[in-house]
Structure formats: structure tokens, C-alpha cells
Amino acid sequence: MRYVSTRGQAPIRDFSGVLLAGLAEDGGLYMPEQWPELSAADWRTLRGLPYPELAARVIAPFAEGAIDFETLRSMCHEAYAGFGHPAIVPLVQLDHELFAQELFHGPTLAFKDLAMQLLGRLFDHVLRQQDRRVTIVGATSGDTGSAAIEACRDRERLDVVILHPLGRTSEVQRRQMTTVRAANISNLAVEGTFDDCQDLVKAMFADAPFREDMQLSAVNSINWARVAAQIPYYVAAALALGAPDREIAFAVPTGNFGNVLAAWGARRMGLPITRLNVGSNHNDILARFLGANDMSVRGVTPSLSPSMDIQVSSNFERLLFELLGRDANACAAIMTGFRREGRMAVPDAVWRDATSLFHGLTLDDAHTTDEIRRLYGEAGYLADPHTAIGIAAARAGRIPGTPTVAMATAHPAKFPDAMRTAVGFAPDLPKHLADLYQRDERFRVVPNRLDAVEDAVRAAVLKNAA
Ligand SMILES: Cc1ncc(COP(=O)(O)O)c(C=O)c1O
Ligand SMILES: N[C@@H](CCOP(=O)(O)O)C(=O)O
């Protein structure tokens, strides 16, 4: 499979190439040159497979020509072996047509582990093949960081520097990153928001000498491999509920648009997905876009669902590219205008097209708390604030007769304060994190400036080399 940039000016690459490149040189995001498409009969052959096997078969067409199937299959088996639930991504029925798919049974208790545990192994494999070493720079609003650190710690050919917004993650999320002792891991707390962290990462990639010198790579969902590895759980849920012989809808709590883009990818591959409900907290640029074609950046303010405190949803560019009929020049012009003006000029026809599939819902903190309480009271289900927003979006957008699966993206123990407010108690952390509050933290505070962050990344890499 070959990959092209959404902005049309970067080299075409294979899967290994996009894995290592992360962001395309023209500032765009890599997309498959052609989508693999499966027939109803093909989908049926995947029904009932154990998750690692299913994942290998769904991801295989994207890796074709770069990673052989047996290698990919054994990486998938290893990646999910340590998950805390035998089904890996179990479905929980909430009412007769509403389900939650729990994506938080991996080591860091959020959906990021599903892709990241595989990515760590893919990086190892490809870097060994190419005899290379890279520096991963990542931005996190709370969950990507710890999942990346866990997946990449102590890997010989990787240095990892994670930027998180100072004081804007939950304490559990921060400690999951800052208490890991591994020589190749560094944490920077940026005096800014997640959007600032993500901008800094993109700016490092745009600084060609720095990019080359540090051999930069990415683990955020700007890296195509992250999106590819998030598609299988949509397939697993859809097949379990009767696809391809029955239509399915999904609801996804959304920030950077990477998770819901994977759902869109599953649909593009041929699954009968009829609706994608997108839930936001009050940082609701996506819901405003879907409601009124208003994609304008407003300030990010903290919420009970910190991982979604995002206003610039990077992966929207991938959807835009597709909805523009893959016109990379038009996509580049719109994205450059967005960067300049903080407002995206999406053509009306594209907006209408998007709203025929995607429905948005904004849930503020008070309603999120109510939703957590309601779910616990009525269904006995303990949902974290992100998951609660996804479930509320599922309820708002449900289609009678069509099952809706809401993505349960994080374990409630990651957000004890929000859970106490909503239901009066916080669930315990699992055993492997039980002493998290006793562990020493290590991170460096940096100003929200490119030069300061580049210096800190360079210092971290040099320290590891010494
Ligand atoms: C728990 C949780 N839910 C939802 C999201 C939003 O997902 P995405 O950024 O892929 O839209 C995130 C962050 O990515 C998250 O960590
Ligand atoms: N919510 C994320 C933000 C980064 O998203 P990604 O999917 O692009 O890595 C986080 O928790 O860090």
C-alpha cells in the first residue's frame, strides 16, 4: 500500500515510510492511496475471530508491501497479550439497542493502548530492518502520553519526548507519565494548552534541519499507523452485532478526531455504518462545525474530560481531503487559511456531506456529571467523563432499530475527582498502578516557545546518547 499526503506535496511512501515519517513534509497527513474494500463475504470470514487475529487481518492491507503478514500477526498477538480482559475490547449492553465497547483494558487504561502497543512493536521492527534510530515527539492532553511511554519505554532505537499541558491533565494521567523510570523517556510540561503542545510538535516537524538532525517521528494520530490500528475494534463491534448483514451506528467522544476517523475508515472499507455520533465537552469546535458549519477556534478551557480539551482536531484534515474528492490543493488551501485565520472555510456541499453521516453533541460539565450519575443509577454502569459524553451522544443520535455502540475510551479510575462528584466514590486503580501516588515524579517545565522546546528535546536525546 502506498500513501499520499493530504496536501499533495510530500513524497509518496509505503507503510514503513509513513510510520517513521509521522507528519508529511508539506505539513499534511498521510492517507492510503486507495482504500482496501471488503465484500460482505469477506467480512463474514472475520466473524468470531479472536481480537489479535482480527486486528492482524484488518490492518494487513494497509501494511502490504512493507510488513509481511506473519510478522504483523505475531506483533498483534504480543501487543494484546497483556490486556486485562480476555475479549480485549468487550461489549457491554446498556439497553436493548445501546452498547459500550470498553477500550480501556490495556496497561494505561485508555483506548490509546490498542494502537500504541502495536506501534511500539512496529517501530522496533522497522528501525531494526533499516538500522535506524528515531526521536519520537508527542503531544498529549492526558492519555496518548502514558500509552506511548508504556509502549516505547526501554526500546533501544527510540528516544521519546512527550509534551503535556502543565496542570491540565488529571493527576493520575500526569503521574502515569512522569513516574516512569526509563532512560529513553522524557516528559516536558508546557506552559500552555494541548493545542499549544500539538502546534509545537508540528512546528518541530516543519523545522527541516531540526527534523533531520533529530530524526523526528510521531506517535500521535497524525501518524497514519495510529489510525490504522484503531480500525479493528470498530470491525469487531460491528461484526459482533450482525454486520455486514445489519447496519450499525457508533458514538465517539472526540478531540483530535483520530478515533472517529478510524470508524469512518471502517465504513470506507465497506462496513454498513450508518451514523457516527461525535461527542464534545464545552471545547466543542467539532459539534459547532456539524451543527452550523462553524469551525472557528475559541480558547480552550479546562473541563471534566481533559483529554478532549482540544480545539484544533488534526485528523479532520483527513476527512476534509476525502470529502473534497481528494483534491490536495483545495485541502492545502483550506488548511493554510485555517492556520492563518483560526476559522475553516469548509464549502457548503462538503459540510452537508459530512452532516449526512456525522452528528455532533456538546455536553458541558454539569450535564456530563448528570450523565455519569444517570448511567450508574439506571444501568449500574460506571463511565468516565469522556465515555459519558460518548454515551450521551449515542442517545441523542440513535436511530430506532439500529444498534449504537458508544466507545468507552478510558477507565473511570483515571478521573477520581469527577467520579466522586458524580457518584460519591472513585473506583480503585488496578493492581499494577496501586502505588502510583507514592512514586516519584520527574518532568521539566518549559515555556510555550519552539526554541525552548527544541532545546529541551535536544538535551533529552543527548542525555540518552551519553
Ligand atoms: C479518554 C479519551 N477519550 C476521547 C478522546 C478523544 O479521541 P480523539 O482525539 O481520537 O478524537 C481522547 C483523546 O484522544 C481520550 O484520551
Ligand atoms: N486526547 C489525546 C490527544 C492526542 O490525541 P492523538 O490521538 O492524536 O494522540 C491525549 O489523550 O493525549
pLDDT digits (tens, 9 = 90+) for 360-376: 999 999 999 999 999 99
Which of 355, 358, 362 minimizes the C-alpha distance to 280?
362
Write down the pLDDT at residue 466: 72
Annotated active-site residue 112? The verdict is yes
Q: Give tens-digit pLDDT for 179-191.
A: 999 999 999 999 9
Burial class (CB in 10 A: 0-12, 13-18, 19+), 330: middle
283 Cα to the center of ligand 1, angstroms? 13
From 29, 387, 409, 414, give the residue whose CB has the most ligand 1 atoms within 8 Å, as the site to mutate: 409
Q: Which atom of ligand 2 lies at the shortest distance from residue 145's CA? A: 12
Q: Is 274 left (phi over 0), alpha (psi -120 to 50) or beta?
A: alpha
Which alpha helices (DSSP H) does 220-347 contain, by range?
A: 224-228, 231-240, 258-268, 285-292, 316-323, 328-341
Residue 18 pLDDT > 90? yes
The mean of the pLDDT values for the chain is: 97
Per-residue confidence (pLDDT) for residue 465, from 0 to 100: 76
Ligand at minimal distance from the CA of 147 is 2
Joined together, the cell numbers standing for residue 442 give: 520527574
ipTM for the predicted complex = 0.99
Residue to mutate (ligand 1; options 234, 256, 414; most atoms within 8 A of CB): 256
**pLDDT mean over 132-142:** 97
Judged against a pLDDT cut of 80, whether residue 76 lies above it is answered with yes
Q: What is the percentage of the chain residues whose pLDDT exceeds 90?
A: 99
Q: Residue 354: pLDDT above 80?
A: yes
Q: Whose CA is closest to 36, among 271, 331, 240? A: 271
- Pocket test of ligand 2: the residue of 114, 140, 219 to mutate, having most ligand atoms within 8 Å of its CB, is 140
Ligand index nearest the alpha carbon of residue 219 = 2
Which of 239, 194, 199, 226 is CA-nearest to residue 49?
Answer: 239
Question: Which atom of ligand 2 approaches the CA of 112 most closely?
Answer: 7
Average pLDDT over residues 337-347: 96
Residue 113, ligand 1, Cβ within 6 A: no
Residue nearest atom 15 of ligand 1, based on CA coordinates? 307
pLDDT at 119 over 90: yes
> Ligand 1 mean position to 310 CA, how many Å?
10
Residue 463 has pLDDT above 90, yes or no: no
Sole residue written with cell 477500550: 103
Asked whether residue 226 carries a pLDDT value surpassing 90, the answer given is yes
pTM reported for the whole predicted model: 0.98
Short-list 237, 225, 236, CA closest to 51: 236
Binding pocket residue ranges, ligand 2, CB within 6 Å:
140-145, 220-221, 255-256, 258, 307
Task: Provide the 10 A C-beta neighbour count for residue 445.
Answer: 11
The domain 86-110+226-423: what is its CATH number? 3.40.50.1100
What pLDDT score was predicted for residue 195?
96
If you measure from the C-alpha of residue 313 to the centroid of ligand 2, how many angstroms do you get, rounded to a whole number? 10
Among 202, 220, 389, 411, residue to substitute to test ligand 2 (most atoms within 8 Å of Cβ)? 220
Whether ligand 1 lies within 6 angstroms of the CB of 99 is answered as no
Q: Which of 413, 411, 18 is nearest to 229 (CA)?
A: 18
Task: Check pocket membership of 319 for ligand 1, CB cut-off 6 A.
Answer: no
pLDDT at 239 over 90: yes
Q: Which numbered atom of ligand 2 lies nearest the CA of 143?
A: 11
pLDDT for the residue numbered 464: 77
Amino acid identity at 377: G
Residue nearest to atom 12 of ligand 1 (CA): 307
Cα–ligand 2 centroid distance for 407 (angstroms): 15
Atom of ligand 2 nearest to the CA of 314: 8
Virtual CA dihedral for 220, 71, 74, 137, nearest 10 degrees?
-20
Q: What is the pLDDT of residues 410-447, one digit of tens each?
A: 999 999 999 999 999 999 999 999 999 999 999 999 99
Atom of ligand 2 nearest to the CA of 220: 9
